[in-house]
Amino acid sequence: MGTSEDNSGTLEGHCRSPSNIKVEQDSKDIKRFNGNTPTLNTSLMEIQYTSEPKLEEPVLIAAWPGMGYLAKISADYLRQRLKAKKFAEFRYFQNAIVYKDSLAELPVIRHQFFVVPEKGLMICVGDAQPSTPEEALSLAEKVIDVAEKYDVRRVYTMAAYPSDYPGDPRVFGVYTDERLKGELEKHGVEFIEGEGAVNGLNGILIGLAKMRGIEGVCLMGEIRYANVPQHLSSKAVLERLTSILGLDIDTAPLERRAEKIDASIRKSLGEFEEYEEIAKKEEKTIRYIS
């Protein structure tokens, strides 16, 4: 097994396509003087707190879009099920503009922090991944700064592992401390032999956490399709993660979503096969004369 990838079709985590960018157009972010000269609000790229939750050595789950949308689906589903409350965010610019009907705008990307105090849980979810290694490292440092502020003891990220798997998707674990292996194994997490890489923030974050003295785990779910939401894989990852954390959530809706998508894919494949049959029949009726 080699490099884990995520949902851009390239290595994990690079959401470069403007269509994947969630645009936050906020008049507070860009100020204009004399009606035509834009200047940036200095609050961008600085953490903005709306509250200060009380936590004791919580766990942080962090996720950004990637292949199969696995990480983002999983984190969003978890925070919604647990009714996590937003307490902070910071914003970055993407290194691209987006346009509609040829009118261009500079998008602002949000990275939001949520908390479930009674569970000792923080969740960070970003709208998109940075486009350069330098930006990714800078963003990871800001996330770990928040983790240190609240004495986070362990960071979990999630990623996709492309595979033509039979049956149910497996979940593999990458960890930053050998002592974590036994705990993960007890909850059905498998391990990868040999060398590999987890690119993007879903990988970088646990590496930086290790450098700051915080435990890190990346749970990687097998996926079949890079550009199709992989709800079944998200379900598998969430079941391992919630088992580790001692949480009880209903993942059945993810399975139902997966069934709908699979049905749509099968229908598309069926229509393609039908088209191929028609094309073959038409080809047989053609006579070539030279």
The predicted-structure confidence for 140-163, as pLDDT tens digits, reads as follows 999 999 999 999 999 999 999 998
- My answer on whether 242 and 265 are in the same domain is no
- My answer on whether 245 and 255 are in the same domain is no
Maximum pairwise Cα distance, the chain = 84
* 215-223 vs 103-105, strand pairing mode: unpaired
Predicted pLDDT of residue 93 = 79
Contact present, 133 and 125 (Cβ < 8 Å): no
pLDDT over threshold 60, residue 283: no
In a domain, 11, yes or no: no
- My answer on whether 136 and 260 are in the same domain is no
- My answer on whether 235 and 255 are in the same domain is no
- My answer on whether 189 and 280 are in the same domain is no
Among 249, 264, 281, which residue terminates a domain? 249
- My answer on whether 256 and 276 are in the same domain is yes
Contact present, 76 and 137 (Cβ < 8 Å): no
- My answer on whether 115 and 212 are in the same domain is yes
281 φψ region: left (φ > 0), alpha (ψ -120 to 50), beta (else): alpha
- My answer on whether 184 and 196 are in the same domain is yes
Identify the domain containing residue 227 by its residue range: 18-249
Query: Looking at this protein, which amino acid is placed at residue 45?
Result: M
- My answer on whether 140 and 222 are in the same domain is yes
* 215-223 vs 154-162, strand pairing mode: parallel
In a domain, 286, yes or no: yes
Contact present, 47 and 109 (Cβ < 8 Å): no
**Spatial separation of the C-alpha atoms in residues 108 and 88, rounded to whole Å:** 16
In a domain, 5, yes or no: no
Q: Which residues, in sequence order, are bridge partners of residue 62?
A: 124, 157
How many domains is the chain built from? 2
- My answer on whether 43 and 106 are in the same domain is yes
The predicted-structure confidence for 249-259, as pLDDT tens digits, reads as follows 998 888 787 67
The predicted-structure confidence for 63-117, as pLDDT tens digits, reads as follows 999 898 899 999 999 999 999 999 999 988 777 888 999 999 988 889 999 999 9
- My answer on whether 176 and 260 are in the same domain is no
- My answer on whether 108 and 227 are in the same domain is yes
**Spatial separation of the C-alpha atoms in residues 254 and 233, rounded to whole Å:** 9
